[in-house]
A = this chain, B = another copy of it.
Amino acid sequence: MLTLHQMQMSGNCYKVRLLARQLGIPLALKEYPLMAGETRKPDFLARNPNGRVPLLEFGDGRFLPESNAILWYLSEGTPLQPADRWDRAQALSWMFFEQYSHEPYVAVRRFLLAYAPDEVREARRAQLPELRAKGDAALGVMETHLSHKDWFAGARYSIADIALYAYTHWAGEGGFDLSAFPALSRWLARVAAESGHIPLSERW
């Protein structure tokens, strides 16, 4: 069985749990406490030199880091990865957007406001306005796309939607006001209505 090294509050880890659930792939979970530094210790670094979760363990000595690479690997040949070459390019383009232009603002502001120890939040308080502005800009880029498309890559729900859903649906914890993004809010509801979605009670 595959083992997901993860933190339950992490959106990057949630992506993998959601895809695995929807593909019917059993996952064992190994939980790491937030802020304990376990992923920076030698045992973990021997498995992922970048010291981060999620990390997918295959049980035969192989490990795969990076949430969106894990989504790609697990979804190859399934309906959740677009079959068309152009749609695949769109999926990857949005997944790189998510990691470069969205997660560093939307997820980091959520971490600081809702999960960080008080001293970390206070030390980084001056960053909150810029994180809000850049996070709102990313949500605005999504809103522009969703004002004329139902999904991010091709004509159906895919791993691109899973990648963007994770931290977007938790953006309220980061002080973002999703009511300002109506097309995005309708897309969040469409994603939550997909078969096999993880219910709220299981997300944290």
What is A's interface to B at a CB cutoff of 8 Å? Answer: 49-50, 62, 64-70, 72-73, 76, 85-86, 88-90, 92-93, 95-97, 99-101, 103-104, 140-141, 144-145
Residue from A70, A86, A92 whose CB has the most chain B CB atoms within 10 Å: A92
Most buried by B among A50, A76, A95, A104: A50
Within the complex, the shortest CB–CB distance from A47 to chain B, in Å, comes to: 12
Q: Which residues from chain B contact A140 at a C-beta distance below 8 Å?
A: 49
Which residues of B have CB within 8 Å of A64? 89-90, 93
Query: What's the least CB distance linking A81 to chain B, in Å?
Result: 11
Docked Cα-Cα span, A66 to B94, in Å, equals 8
Q: What chain B residues lie within 8 Å of A65 (beta carbons)?
A: 93, 97
**Within the oligomer, what is the number of copies of this chain?**
2
Query: How near does chain B come to A71, taking the closest CB pair, in angstroms?
Result: 9
Contacts A89-B64, A89-B69 known; A49 to B96 CB distance under 8 Å?
no
Given contacts A85-B73, A89-B72, contact A97 B144 (CB under 8 A): no
A73 closest partner in B (C-beta)? B89
| A86 touching B62 in the complex, CB below 8 Å, given contacts A92-B69, A144-B49 | yes
Closest chain-B Cβ to A16's Cβ sits at a distance in Å of: 13
Closest 3 interchain pairs by CB? A69-B93, A73-B89, A69-B92
Q: Which of B49, B50, B93 contacts A66 (CB 8 A)?
A: B93
For A89, the chain B residues whose CB sits under 8 A away are 64, 69-70, 72-73
CA distance A89 to B66 in the complex (A): 10
B49 touches A141 (CB 8 A): yes
29 pairs, CB–CB < 8 Å, chain A vs chain B = A49-B144, A50-B97, A50-B101, A64-B89, A64-B90, A64-B93, A65-B93, A65-B97, A66-B96, A66-B100, A67-B96, A68-B92, A69-B89, A69-B96, A72-B88, A73-B85, A73-B86, A73-B88, A73-B89, A73-B92, A92-B92, A95-B96, A96-B96, A96-B99, A99-B100, A100-B100, A100-B103, A100-B104, A104-B104
